[in-house]
Structure 1
Amino acid sequence: MKYRESAKEHEVMGRAHVMLGCKSRGRRRTAIMNLGSFGKLTIVYAFAALLLIIELGLTGYVVGQTHRNWWGESPSQFAFMLFTTVWSILILIYIAITPAVAPSLYIPVAALALLALTALFWFAGSIAMAVLVGIPDCNGNNFCQSAQAGVVFGFFNWIVFTGLAIWEGMGFARGRSTSTAKPTPYAGA
């Protein structure tokens, strides 16, 4: 038996789906996630924070192990990755929280420059650490595996911060294009 809905039922269902944020594809209805004020960018920030916490643990462990084993000196590549992780956490706090808490302190040009610089730091640090670590056969060595994972998560962070810089750049360009448009003359003049 085929299910047929009356015109009245179809109209009521259509209104309900519109109110719930659902789209209709022919006879099939699909729900779209309506995030409201909890937008997609918030999810990206949360994902970046998760990656940064993982990277902080990995590089902190690697720096701690090399600091003990190398007579007080850690290779600069590991130390730079640790610096980049802490720097990125501070930048992420500024980018994610300042527009909501203190919008007057949020400067789009500064945010774009900070994100681009952070993406550059991640790229340089990940390449430098990858060159130092190489592709050794770790054979269950925690230090070696942590260093390799630090390189991988460094490249993940580079991708995320490059994407955020592009997103911020597109928003900045969109904002500038509307503000540099020719003003229309006042009709009463």
Structure 2
Amino acid sequence: MAFNFTLPLRIVQGIFAIVVLGLTAYVANWWSGHWHDLSPSEVNFLIFSSVWTLLALAYLIIAPARFPNAAHKYGILAAEAITMIFWFAGFIALAVFLSDRVCFGRVCDAAKAGTAFAAFEWLFFAATTLMAVLHVYRTRNTGVTSHDPKVEMHQGV
């Protein structure tokens, strides 16, 4: 019996998204409070990526389990790939932003921790995106989109 790694990865992805959301929200709040200016767009983008991830995870977890018609294999692949790209762009952008700044204190530590957690989040989404690509590849000639059509019930005439 094979173990399905998808749900444990989804749980970790959700936890990491909440952690990054908290850390980057703290950085954004500190920045706007101390500099009386808008927080950096790099920080704001990671906040967006965290919220997007929570919404995407709702789709990626609930749709295959409860609404199989909405869980098309290309829809799942698109949600995975877009989320992976967002995390990659977000952690790279914040890492570059922090690399040329004089940075110290708690807010700097929170920004660096947010960058590290975002990098790991990207790795987790790279793994699940690879799993989605493999599923699409393996079912490319079968006509399978989301569910087994043999399970559908038809009334006899």
TM-score normalized by the length of structure 1 = 0.70
Q: 1:172 aligns with which of 133, 136, 147?
A: 136
**Partner of residue 3, structure 1:** none
Identity %: 33
**Partner of residue 45, structure 1:** 10
> Could you list the per-position Cα deviations for residues 124-162 of structure 1 after superposition, in whole angstroms to 9, with x for gaps in the alignment?
1111100111287865x1101000001101100111111
Partner Cα distance (1:101, 1:81) in 2: 30
> Could you list the per-position Cα deviations for residues 65-90 of structure 1 after superposition, in whole angstroms to 9, with x for gaps in the alignment?
11212324111000011001100111
Q: 1:156 aligns with which of 120, 139, 145?
A: 120
* Partner SS for 1:177: coil
Give the aligned CA root-mean-square deviation in angstroms. Answer: 2.0
* Partner SS for 1:176: coil
**Residues 14, 53 of structure 2: 8 Å contact kept:** no
Count, aligned residues: 144
- Structure 1: which 5+ runs fail to align? 1-20, 22-33, 181-189
Q: How does 1:1-189 map to 2 (within 5 A)?
A: 39-134=4-99, 141-179=105-143
Partner Cα distance (1:44, 1:114) in 2: 15
Higher helix share: 2
- Structure 2: which 5+ runs fail to align? 145-157
| Greater gyration radius | 1
C-alpha change, 1:152 and 1:116, in structure 2 (3 Å) is same
After superposing the two structures, state which structure 1 stretch, 102-111 or 124-133, moved more: 102-111
Q: 1:57 offset after TM fit, Å?
A: 0.9
Q: 1:60 offset after TM fit, Å?
A: 1.1
Q: 1:178 offset after TM fit, Å?
A: 2.6
